[in-house]
Amino acid sequence: MTAAKAAKDRNGVPVGTLTGALHSVDSSQASSKRIGQRMVGQPPGSGTAEPLDDTPAAGSEAGPAQGTAGAAALTDSFRHFADVVPLMMWRSDEHGHAIHHNECWLEFTGRPLAAELGLGWREGLHPEDFERHARIVAEAFRARAPFTVEFRLRRYDGVYRWLLDTARPLIENGRFQGYLGSCFDITDRKHAEEHIEHALAEKETLLAEVYHRVRNNLQVMVSLIGLYGRAAPDACRGSFEALGQRVRAIALVQQHLHEAPHIASIDLKDYLHRLASGLGQLRRAGRIGVQVGGNGNGLVEPRTANALGMIVAEIVAECLDATAEHVACSISIDLEAEAGRPLRVAIVSGVSEMAASGRPNVPKLGPRLIAAYAAQAEIAVTGEATPAEPLRLTLPATATAQ
C-alpha cells in the first residue's frame, strides 16, 4: 500500500473530486470584503430591485463589483470540472452575483467571462423575461431552495434562445455559499409547444364554427319543415311534424356531443344522462321519461356516441308518434358491462297506455333508421325495444368499459 495521501485544498476538501469541485471555496473568499447592498434582479440602469442581503457586516467596506472577488476564490478543480461539462453552467455567490460561467456559456453568449460576472450576464436577458426571472430567483435565494426557471438569453448572433435553468443551493459546513446552476437550450421544445397551442386554438375555433353552422342550418331546416307542413294537406301534416321533431332531436344530439368535457373519449353514461334530460323537453314536457341505469359504463368515440344518441332519439320519437298527446312515454336504458365482453346497451320503450289516436299517416321508419345509425358506428343490433324483447346494442371493441 502507498503512503501517498490525496491532495487537499486549504479547507481540507480533496482536490480533483466531484465534491471538491462543487463545494470547495478558497479561504480567501471567506475573508474577501463584502459588498454593502447586493441587488438581485436589477436591470441595467434600474433604480429598483429587491436586496438579498442589505445588512453589511460591521466594519465592512464596499468590495469589488461584478463578483470578481468571488470569482478569484474559485478553485482550479471547480473551473476544470465546469469547463469540461458539455452544458452551460454558472456559479453565484451568496448575494446572487455570478462568480463563474463555464466555457459552454461563454461560447453561447460570445462574451468574455469578465463581462458576464456579477450582474453583467443579465444584459443578455430578454426584457420580457427580466422581472419574472428576478422574482423567481429572489424567492429561491430567500428560502435557500432549489429553483427552475425558463427564460430567453441572447446568443452570440443576437438571436434569443429559450433556456431551462435548474439551480441548487451550495451549503458548506452549514453556511450558504450561493448557487450552482445548469442551462439547457429548450428553444425547439418551446416552438413545438407554441405550434401545438396554436393548432389547438385553431381546432377549437373550427369546432365552434362548425357547430354554430350546423346548429343554424338545422334550425333553418326545422323552420322550413314547419312552413311546408302548415301548407300541406291535413293528411300529410303528421309526417311533417314527425320530421321536424327528428331534426330538432338531431340538433340536441350534436349539442350534447359538443358540450362533452372530452370530445375524443366520451363518458357514455354522462352523455346519455344529459341527452335524456334534453329529449324529455322536446315535446310533452313532463310526460317523457328517459331513465339511464345499469351496472356498466364506458368511454366511447364520438361516432359511437352520436349513433347511440340518434338511436335513443328515434326510439323516443317512435313512442311519441304512436301515442296521443296526453299519454306518458317511458324509455329505459341499461348499460351492461361484463369482464372480457364488449359493452352493451339495452333499451326498452313503454307507454302507460297505448292509444290509437297517435299521429296519423306517419310512416314507421324506426327500425330502418336505427339499423342505419348502428351501421355507421359498427354497432350490432338485436331486438325491438319492447319489454319482451329489448333492443340490445353491442358496441364496437373501441368502446372501453369502466
331-347: pLDDT as tens digits: 889 888 777 678 888 88
Is there a single domain that holds both residue 212 and residue 351?
A: yes
What own/partner pairs with CB < 8 Å and gap ≥ 24 does 115-122 have?
117/66, 117/67, 117/68, 117/71, 118/65, 118/66, 118/67, 118/68, 119/39, 119/42, 119/44, 119/66, 120/66, 121/90, 122/43, 122/44
Q: What is the CATH number of the domain that holds 341?
A: 3.30.565.10
Is-above-0.75 flag for pTM? no
Half-sphere exposure of residue 171, counting CA atoms within 13 Å on the CB side?
Answer: 9
Residue numbers of the chain with a pLDDT score lower than 70: 1-75, 340, 351-362, 399-402
In a domain, 69, yes or no: yes
Please choose, from the candidates 325, 306, 304, the residue with its C-alpha nearest in 3D space to the C-alpha of residue 314: 306
List, in sequence order, every beta strand (DSSP E) within 71-146. Answer: 88-92, 98-101
Is there a single domain that holds both residue 131 and residue 252?
A: no
In a domain, 7, yes or no: no
pLDDT of residue 51: 36
pLDDT of residue 103: 94
Q: What is the CATH number of the domain that holds 179?
A: 3.30.450.20
Please state, for a pLDDT cut of 70, what percent of the chain lies above it: 77
Domain that holds residue 44: 18-185
The C-alpha cell at 103 is 466555457
In a domain, 154, yes or no: yes
pLDDT of residue 194: 93
Please choose, from the candidates 46, 52, 41, 130, the residue with its C-alpha nearest in 3D space to the C-alpha of residue 93: 52
pLDDT of residue 58: 35
pLDDT of residue 318: 84
Read off the pLDDT of residues 28-77 as tens digits, 9 standing for 90 and up. 333 333 333 333 334 333 333 343 343 333 333 333 344 555 555 566 77
The C-alpha cell at 305 is 356516441
Is there a single domain that holds both residue 85 and residue 197?
A: no
